[in-house]
A and B are shown apart, each in its own frame.
Chain A
Amino acid sequence: MSAPYRQDMPPAGGFPQIKYKRNLPFRGPSGIVILGGVTAVCAYGFYRVGLGNLEKRELQREKAWSRIHLVPLLLAEGDRDAYRRQQAALAREKEIMKDVKGWEAGKSVYHDPRYRPADSIVVL
C-alpha cells in the first residue's frame, strides 16, 4: 500500500525572517575616548618623569656638595700621612747614601721647583 500524495508546504504563517542584519551592540567608550584617555595617562606620566628628572638633578647637586664639603678634611688628613711618609723616605735615603759624596737626599731630578708627587714608593 502506498502513502497518499502530499505536497510539502511552508509552515502555516510562513517561514520566520532570516536574521541577516549585523548585530553589534554599542558597548563601552568609543575609540576616540580610549585614545584620548591613553594619551592623557601617558602625558601625565611623562610630566612626572620630567619632574623626577629635575628632582634627580637636585639630588645630584646635594650629593656633589656633600662631597665638596668633605674634601678639605680628607685632603688634610691625607696630606699629613703623605708628609709623614715623605720624611721617613728622606731619612732612609740620607742613611743609605751617607757615604756618597755630594749626594743631596730628596733632590728632584727636574730643574723646576714645582711640586711633583712621588711616582714610586718604598714598600717596607
Chain B
Amino acid sequence: MSFWHNPSSAAKPYVDPTPLPDDIPKVQELGVTSGPLKSAAFFIGAYCKDYNDDFMLCKAENRDPAHCLKEGRRVTRCAQDLITKMRENCLAEFDKHWNCLEWNNQEYGACRKPERALNKCMFEKLGLVKTIPGTPEGQTPIHEVKNPILNGVQK
C-alpha cells in the first residue's frame, strides 16, 4: 500500500524500482563521480557544445522532463563518448588530474601541474582546448598563468 509523503521529511529514501517505459530508448548512464566530471568538464563543454546548447534551448522551451528526453539522451551519449575517448587516449593524465582534484577539495588552482599534462595530451590526441569564457581581453587565462599568487596551502 502506498500513500502520500512529503519527500523532505520521509523516513525512507525515495526509491522507485519501476524501469523506464519500453518506448523510451535506453541509454547507459554516465556513472562518473564528481572528480572525473570536474576534470573533464571543460572538454565536455568543448566536445559536446552543440548537443548541450540544443538540450538547454529545449529546456528553455519547456521544463517538463518528458519534453527533452531525446536531446538529453544525445547529451549523455556525447559525454559517454568523450569520457571513453579520454580514457583511451589520456588515461594516465586523466587519472592523475582527477585524483589530484579529489585530494584538493576539487579546486583547479591546486592541480595545475597534472592539469597542464592533461590539457596538452587532450590537445595533441583529440584537438580539444580548454577555454574559460569571459576571461578579460589580453589577460592570460587563469589555467595558463605560470606563477600564480594563490598557489594553494603552503606545504
Tally A-B pairs: CB < 8 A. 146
The stretch that binds B, out of A7-15, A16-24, A26-34, A65-73, is A65-73
Q: Is the interface of A mostly helix, strand, loop or mixed?
A: helix
Q: Are B18 and A84 in contact (CB under 8 A)?
A: yes
Query: Which of the residues A69, A86, A121, A122 comes within 8 Å of B52, measured between beta carbons?
Result: A69
Q: Which chain A residue has the least Cβ–Cβ distance from B18? A: A88
Q: In whole Å, how far is B19's beta carbon from the nearest beta carbon of chain A?
A: 7
Compute how far the CA of A30 lies from the CA of B75 in the bound complex, rounded to whole angstroms. 70
Q: Are A77 and B29 in contact (CB under 8 A)?
A: yes
Given A69-B41, A70-B41, A72-B55, decide whether A123 and B10 contact each other with a Cβ distance below 8 A. yes
Q: Is B38 an interface residue when CB atoms closer than 8 A count as contact?
A: yes
- Please tell me the number of chain A residues within 8 Å of chain B, measured between CB atoms: 42
In the assembled complex, which residues on chain B have CB atoms less than 8 Å from the CB atom of A121? 5, 7, 14
Given A69-B41, A121-B14, decide whether A82 and B65 contact each other with a Cβ distance below 8 A. yes
In the assembled complex, which residues on chain A have CB atoms less than 8 Å from the CB atom of B7? 120-121, 123
Q: Are B76 and A76 in contact (CB under 8 A)?
A: yes
Q: Are A58 and B142 in contact (CB under 8 A)?
A: yes
Q: Is B114 an interface residue when CB atoms closer than 8 A count as contact?
A: no
Binding site for A on B (CB under 8 A): 2-7, 10, 12-21, 24, 27, 29-30, 37-38, 41-42, 44-45, 48, 51-52, 55-56, 59, 62-69, 71-73, 75-76, 79, 107-109, 132-135, 139, 141-143, 145, 148-150
Chain A to chain B contacts (Cβ below 8 Å), 21 pairs = A55-B142, A59-B107, A59-B142, A62-B132, A63-B107, A65-B133, A69-B52, A72-B52, A72-B56, A73-B48, A73-B52, A75-B55, A76-B75, A77-B76, A80-B24, A80-B29, A83-B65, A84-B20, A91-B18, A121-B14, A123-B12
